[in-house]
Structure 1
Amino acid sequence: MVERITLYRAPTTPADADVIAEWLDRRVDATVAVRDRFLSQFGDEALPEDFAEARVLDPDAPETGNTMLGIVRYEERALERPERAGGVIYDGLAVQRALHDRVPTEECGLDHLHVPLLDRVVGTWGDHDGRWHKRVNVLGQPALVSVPGVYEAPAKPEQYYKQQQKHAMLSGDAPPREVLENEVDGEFLVADDPRTTEALCGYALQAYHYLKTGEEFCDEPDCRLSNPHRQPGVIEAQLRDPPFCDRHAELYRQE
């Protein structure tokens, strides 16, 4: 039984761990607390190399890891100055193992769930199609929630990418979110979206739900426990009412 949940802040992102914790606290039968960034609290000299070993090198190859000195130095800088990192995908299961090894021994039982909000993009290898897939979360202990993953993992409308490339070619920079939302049909989340915190509440609850019940995701597309593969599905599941399907509404208190 999960008795405690600890969320960890991702200070260089728009995700507000305190708001997510308050949202969870109103719905679950567990004590919810917030701590500062996991990678800062429990990082050590070996962590940069662990991240280097977890790097995805090729989107179509399962092998990971580049521990050349320059890469490890990059990971050291990324831990110290996370706002300057980006553009890398990491094996989410490898990162999960690395962080699990750093959870204090007295806190690593399944009664105390740890949920680090990460400023990294994580993925899992798909044996069914032979490529890496970006993920919003990686369930387990600890449960990883990737803040950039909520923008990058679920696919946006094709027209979004075409317009983004068009603007980049003309201006040399990515267009503001408002421009793309006006020019592309459909709704989606983009980097630093003000709806980030609200959207991630459901992904944090999925971590608790998995440890509590063993169920990974809900099959109902309008439930916060679902795992949509496209951005319109994320909007429907995480930002529209009602928040839960009938079955899960019985488990989690409503406001």
Structure 2
Amino acid sequence: MKQVSLYRAPTTEADADAIAAWLSERIDAGVAVRDRFLSRHADGDLPEELAGVRVLDPYDSETGNTMLGVVRYEERAIEHPERAGGVIYDGQALQRSLHRRIPADERSLSHLHVPLLDRVVGTWGDHDGRWHKRVNVLGQPALVSVPGLYEAPAKPESYYREQQRHALLSGDAPPREVLEEQVEGEFLVADDPRTTDALKGYVLQAYHYLSTGEAFCDDGGCRLHNAHRQPAVVGAQLRGTEFCSRHAKRYRPPA
């Protein structure tokens, strides 16, 4: 691979320049930062395509609502991303839509595109018949969802116990802020100052997959590990030696 283009998500905590600087020290390819993908490559068809890949029901694989009001919402969200939220998109369908918008001379596998997204993406699980939120969707382009970092990996068990306890006592779900203050355990929250550091590994996973064909690492202490719970995300991305012994040979920068 010769080039990686990383796209900003300006309404989020993610610092694309810091991620690019970290990545460039670890890979043998040029790394450039570009403005937000959905702004740079938006066209008249994109709002309707986004409406068409919305997840409508967590237990229904069918997606899409292209009614005029929904399309208008997507138009506003492209223009004013700070107003977007509360929607999950089919990550693989969105990936195909964005792939069509990569300039033809930049679509080869020698030039990886990694949009940092301010949208939540998911993939359908045939094994359990429901949608699963994801931090990243590997491929070309590789999607990295910033809100997915907070929402996709499961919280510590104590988080859900406290949520249930509060519901039994009060009859409703507690505000997220209350849970985040009361629950012990390590997990990332919206606008977490550790966001940029945690996302570095997910961007590297995108590069690693396209350049080697290997998706993830089984070692829980490696940046290439696909963690399914928040404490494991902290362990893989924010602690330890960064890489397992095998991947350290490839990605650890020279001392």
TM above 0.5: yes
Alpha-carbon shift at residue 174 of structure 1 (Å)? 3.5
Alpha-carbon shift at residue 180 of structure 1 (Å)? 4.3
**Residue of structure 2 in register with 1:22 after alignment:** 21
Alignment check: 8 A CA contact 1:60 1:132 kept: yes
Alpha-carbon shift at residue 194 of structure 1 (Å)? 0.3
**Residue of structure 2 in register with 1:199 after alignment:** 198
**Residue of structure 2 in register with 1:43 after alignment:** 42
Q: Equivalent pairs: percent with the same residue? A: 70
Alpha-carbon shift at residue 197 of structure 1 (Å)? 0.3
Alpha-carbon shift at residue 175 of structure 1 (Å)? 5.2
Alpha-carbon shift at residue 185 of structure 1 (Å)? 2.1
Alpha-carbon shift at residue 171 of structure 1 (Å)? 11
SS in 2 for 1:250: helix
SS in 2 for 1:32: strand
**Residue of structure 1 in register with 2:148 after alignment:** 149
> Which blocks of at least 5 consecutive residues in structure 2 are unaligned?
none
Q: Which amino acid aligns with 2:134?
A: R
Alignment check: 8 A CA contact 1:164 1:174 kept: no
The Cα offsets for residues 11-69 of structure 1, whole Å up to 9 and x where unpaired, read as 00000000000000010000000000000000101000110010001101110001011
Alignment check: 8 A CA contact 1:24 1:205 kept: yes
Alpha-carbon shift at residue 148 of structure 1 (Å)? 0.2
Q: Which amino acid aligns with 1:230?
A: R
| CA distance in structure 1 between the aligned counterparts of 2:163 and 2:68, rounded to whole angstroms | 35
| CA distance in structure 1 between the aligned counterparts of 2:93 and 2:171, rounded to whole angstroms | 39
Alpha-carbon shift at residue 157 of structure 1 (Å)? 1.8
**Residue of structure 2 in register with 1:249 after alignment:** 248
Alignment check: 8 A CA contact 1:96 1:144 kept: yes
- Give the TM-score normalised by the residue count of structure 1: 0.93
Q: Which amino acid aligns with 2:92?
A: L
SS in 1 for 2:251: coil
> Which blocks of at least 5 consecutive residues in structure 1 are unaligned?
none
- Give the TM-score normalised by the residue count of structure 2: 0.93
SS in 2 for 1:7: strand
1:95-244 pair list within 5 angstroms: 95-161=94-160, 163=162, 166=166, 174=175, 176=177, 180-244=179-243
Alignment check: 8 A CA contact 1:164 1:175 kept: no
Q: Which amino acid aligns with 2:13?
A: P
Alignment check: 8 A CA contact 1:28 1:253 kept: no
CA, structure 1 residues 164+193, in 2 after alignment: closer, same or farther (shift >3 Å)? Answer: farther
| CA distance in structure 2 between the aligned counterparts of 1:172 and 1:126, rounded to whole angstroms | 27
CA, structure 1 residues 171+130, in 2 after alignment: closer, same or farther (shift >3 Å)? Answer: closer
Q: Which amino acid aligns with 2:3?
A: R
Alignment check: 8 A CA contact 1:181 1:187 kept: no
| CA distance in structure 2 between the aligned counterparts of 1:58 and 1:175, rounded to whole angstroms | 22
Alignment check: 8 A CA contact 2:163 2:174 kept: no
